[in-house]
């Protein structure tokens, strides 16, 4: 726990972590897209993502989905989120997110995919900062540590770092993906407050998964037209 608290005092560095992870995914994507069909490559890239990062964030998304989909009182929603069983809401949230990421990876042109993966991971990690900076903790635990050690200045510093990375890789389109991911993080703040009255570690992890998904979907849409990244920024690949 002391290590976690020390980490959270430097939470503004999360985008650099995202860049390092994204670089690894980019290398994997470069190799796989040379030897495997798009669908197989996308599936194996997903395996690489969850092998390296683990499934803690996906587990948070499942718990978050259970809580959001539970009916009646706030107390029952919190209970559904905290129990050890996975319900229909959690299953649907996780499946839809993974399907969207898979579809995005298969639809992004091969030359654009490596940089898209880096940008998406940077955006996802910055989105976690946004969620923590604008949330209030619901109870003690990891979420409380993250939220109480993250303030608006951390968000702005992290956003500046993330914007520099995304702009360097993909220009204005990289920044656009980053900003769309931040909007998704702020929406997660609203959903968490409306359903639970505050935020937890599950919401923190769920935001990572949702923001990565949103970022890749956005990148897929941008690369689908003649004025997207593929023409302006991705030809070197």
pTM for this entry? 0.90
> 5-9, 92-96, 148-152: which range is least confident on average?
5-9
Dist CA 211 CA 184 (whole Å):
6
- pLDDT number for residue 4: 67
Domain ranges of the chain: 2-222
Whether residue 224 has pLDDT greater than 90 = no
In the block, residue with structure tokens 């920024």: 233
Report the b/e string of 198-217 with b at 16+ CB within 10 A.
bbbbbbbbbbbbbbbbbbbb
pLDDT digits (tens, 9 = 90+) for 13-49: 999 999 999 999 999 999 999 999 999 999 999 999 9
pLDDT digits (tens, 9 = 90+) for 120-171: 999 999 999 999 999 988 877 776 777 887 889 999 999 999 999 999 999 9
């Amino acid at each position: 726990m002391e290590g976690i608290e020390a980490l959270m005092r430097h939470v503004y560095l999360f985008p650099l972590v995202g860049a390092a992870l994204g670089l690894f995914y980019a290398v994997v994507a470069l190799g796989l897209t040379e030897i495997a069909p798009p669908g197989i490559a996308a599936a194996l890239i997903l395996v690489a993502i969850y092998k390296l990062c683990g499934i803690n964030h996906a587990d948070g998304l499942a718990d978050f989905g259970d809580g959001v989909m539970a009916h009646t009182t706030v107390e029952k929603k919190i209970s559904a989120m905290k129990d050890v069983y996975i319900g229909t809401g959690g299953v649907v949230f996780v499946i839809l997110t993974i399907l969207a990421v898979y579809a995005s990876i298969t639809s992004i042109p091969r030359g654009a995919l490596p940089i898209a993966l880096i940008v998406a991971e940077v955006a996802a990690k910055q989105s976690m900062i946004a969620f923590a900076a604008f949330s209030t903790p619901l109870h003690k635990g990891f979420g409380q540590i993250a939220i109480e050690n993250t303030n608006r200045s951390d968000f702005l510093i992290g956003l500046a770092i993330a914007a520099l990375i995304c702009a360097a890789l993909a220009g204005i389109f990289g920044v656009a993906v980053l900003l769309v991911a931040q909007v998704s993080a702020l929406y997660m703040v609203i959903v968490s407050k409306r359903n639970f009255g505050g935020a937890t570690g599950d919401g923190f992890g769920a935001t990572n998964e949702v923001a990565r998904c949103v970022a890749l979907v956005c990148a897929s849409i941008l690369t689908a037209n003649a004025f997207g990244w593929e023409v302006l920024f991705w030809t070197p690949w």
